[in-house]
A and B are shown apart, each in its own frame.
Chain A
Amino acid sequence: MKIGQVSGLKLGKATRDAFGAALVELGEQFPEVVVVDGDVGNSTRTEKFAKKFPDRAFNVGIAESNMVSIAGGLAACGKTPVVASFACFLLCNAYDQIRMSVAFPRLNVKLVGSHAGISIGEDGPSQMGIEDVALACSFPGMTVMVPADAAATAKATEAMLRHQGPTYLRLGRAAVPEIYPNGCDFQIGKAIQLRDGSDATIIANGLMVAVALDAAKLLADQGIQVRVLDMHTVKPIDRDAIAKAARETGAIVVAEEHAPYGGLGSVVATTVTQTVPVPVELVNIGDRYAESGDPDGLLEKYGLSAEAIVRAVQNVRQT
């Protein structure tokens, strides 16, 4: 089953493609933007920018540590470096460089991790970023964004360039359904309500927003009306939207394409505890690495299906 089919969503572009297109389009308007690449520009899609603005793009080879610290130096001189690699290589390989060359000195570096999650499919677990959101959130002062579709990604890219300070933008490899065919009102730190209901709330980001909408449709067929929130910004989290959802719907399910600790689920659960404590269920890939396979099969096998969310909603309503 393809994601978004139940709720009749049209398949759109991959978020990495939307990012690459947006970046090159914004290149003139943001003359301080430069790209730093670690030999994956054709995967992260920064190559479009590099072609149009060759003087403003640096490919430093397969050397993520060097790549991130160079970006720190560029930012210290007033540039707005966009550093893109696979989510796993960027966050895991260069974690200390992000800490020391970017986050601690509060430099205006834009980290972009593509190929996040298990939906990259056949290349397998070594290429899947499933820890990246937790790692990114762990840095004091880091803004962390996980857009759901192409339109949201284009807006997130612009918001990221306008924002002053270190940011992380998480992108996927695969084409995803259009959540916002008519454009997206993307504001950093502000959740978007896609559907209302009073029986529970599903909070999701990235491609799990489409899966959440599918689940909401299946639940509606059973007479359960759920609210769906696109929590595209994990940090700073939208406390108000979460507290409101907890108060008005009494139960929350969080769905993300990530490992269970430190990602959106952890952040939402903490926020619920601190605001309006209600039962919370988490849908994620579990405390394990996935495997190679086709993306849809993987999402199904590793617990990221609409059915998994439906079960979580049923469970959380019984707690």
Chain B
Amino acid sequence: MSEAANELSIDQLKEKAKVLRRHIVRMTTEAGSGHPSSSLSAVEVVTALFFGGLMRHDPNNPTWPDRDRFILSKGHAVPVLYAALAEAGYFPVDDLMTLRKLGSPLEGHPNMTRLPGIEASTGSLGQGLSIGIGHALACRLDGRDARVFVMIGDGEMDEGQVWEAFAAAHKYQLGNLTAVIDQNGFQQTGATKDVLDLTPLENKIEAFGWHVQSVDGNDLEVVLEALRTARSITDRPTAIVCRTRKGAGTVLEEQGDVNFHGKPLPPDAAEKALSLLV
């Protein structure tokens, strides 16, 4: 695990979450496009994983075979991952402002061939959990004690492939696989309950033989505890349904309409949002 990360107090972690939020707002506003609201709902989970000592990784050796993996299946939320990677030391924080610009490896969706620390090229929703199974199987074959975390959107759960993956992970009893569902209640064209209501997710995933927790995904302490619990379960795959707020921590979370998916804040609104994030 990265050393410094282990030593962060809960207050420092909360501060780190704010730092990630600031990066997300700034970089998407600078880019003039991107998905800040989808990134913001996931901040606590990503903060807990990267800085809460819950994921073994080494910014100086991103392909270390024994590392734990974080696969962002909902690839459009990649600003939160870039922010975490930069803060963890994978690349300079200044590079965040190159998001989506020609020549920058910080593409609009994750590209593993261009940026160390990115575990999977995603952006076509529905594939990350299956890719995570591949990692989990390979680690098991090689006798590596590594855990694979996959973050999935609640709208992304519409994809049939996700359920194929739940079934396969159960078949192979992948105790080294954890799915984190960012249940922010919205997808692209509206509320998830209106587009395709899959709630309650918990009993459906449980029915596939998984261990399931249901938590407030924007409460850092709760998230840390849930991830610790997930780590302790090694005889079957685990899922954490994180109830979150899309746009959490900014004005975006109050908008609650179709227009807040995939829309960066205009510069003045971004300034205001940043000033409130102190």
Contact = CB atoms under 8 A, between A and B. Distances in A.
Nearest to B132: A73
Contacts of A181: none
Contacts of A69: 127, 130-131, 133-134, 161, 165
B164 A60 contact: yes
Contacts of A232: none
A74 B171 CA distance: 17
Interface in B98-148: 111-113, 119-124, 126-127, 130-139, 141-142
A73 B135 contact: yes
A1 interface: no
A76 B142 CA distance: 13
B124 A99 contact: yes
Interface string A30-47: 000010000000000000
Contacts of A70: 130-131, 133-134, 137, 165, 168
A34 to B, nearest CB: 7
A71 B122 contact: no
B168 A63 contact: yes
Nearest to A109: B134
Interface string A50-72: 00000110101101011011111
A241 to B, nearest CB: 32
Contacts of B111: 104-105
B131 A58 contact: no
B200 interface: no
B191 interface: no
Contact of B139 (A58, A77, A104): A77
Contacts of A63: 161, 164, 167-168
A97 B230 CA distance: 28
Interface of B is mostly: helix
B134 A72 contact: yes
A76 B160 contact: no
Nearest to A75: B134
A100 interface: yes
Nearest to B136: A73
A74 B137 CA distance: 7
Interface residues of B, number: 32
A55 B122 CA distance: 28
B123 A100 contact: yes
Contact of B135 (A56, A60, A77, A99): A77
A235 interface: no
A106 B142 CA distance: 22
B51 to A, nearest CB: 24
A71 B160 contact: no
A284 interface: no
A78 interface: yes
B127 A97 contact: yes
B138 A61 contact: no
Interface string A273-290: 000000000000000000
Contact of A76 (B123, B135, B161): B135
Given A76-B119, A76-B131, A77-B139, A66 B164 contact: yes
Given A70-B130, A72-B134, A105-B112, A100 B124 contact: yes
A197 to B, nearest CB: 45
Nearest to A59: B171
Contacts of B65: 77-78
A28 interface: no
A73 B168 CA distance: 14
Contacts of A122: none
A56 B134 contact: no
A82 to B, nearest CB: 13
- Which of A69, A73, A78 is the most central at the interface, judged by chain B CB atoms within 10 Å of its CB? A73
A75 B61 CA distance: 19
Contacts of A75: 134
Nearest to A99: B124
Interface string A92-104: 0000110111001
B164 A73 contact: no
A58 B167 CA distance: 13
Contacts of B136: 73
B134 A55 contact: no
A101 B122 CA distance: 8
A96 B134 CA distance: 17
A227 interface: no
Interface in A220-237: none
B113 A73 contact: no
Given A60-B168, A105-B113, A97 B134 contact: no
A66 B124 contact: no
Given A34-B141, A97-B161, A60 B131 contact: no
Contacts of B160: 65
18 contacts: A56-B141, A58-B137, A58-B172, A61-B171, A66-B133, A69-B134, A69-B161, A70-B168, A73-B130, A76-B119, A76-B135, A76-B138, A97-B127, A97-B161, A100-B122, A104-B111, A105-B121, A106-B113
Given A61-B171, A70-B130, A105-B111, 4 more contacts: A66-B168, A74-B135, A104-B111, A105-B112
Which 3 residue pairs are nearest across A and B when measured between Cβ atoms? A73-B134, A69-B130, A77-B138
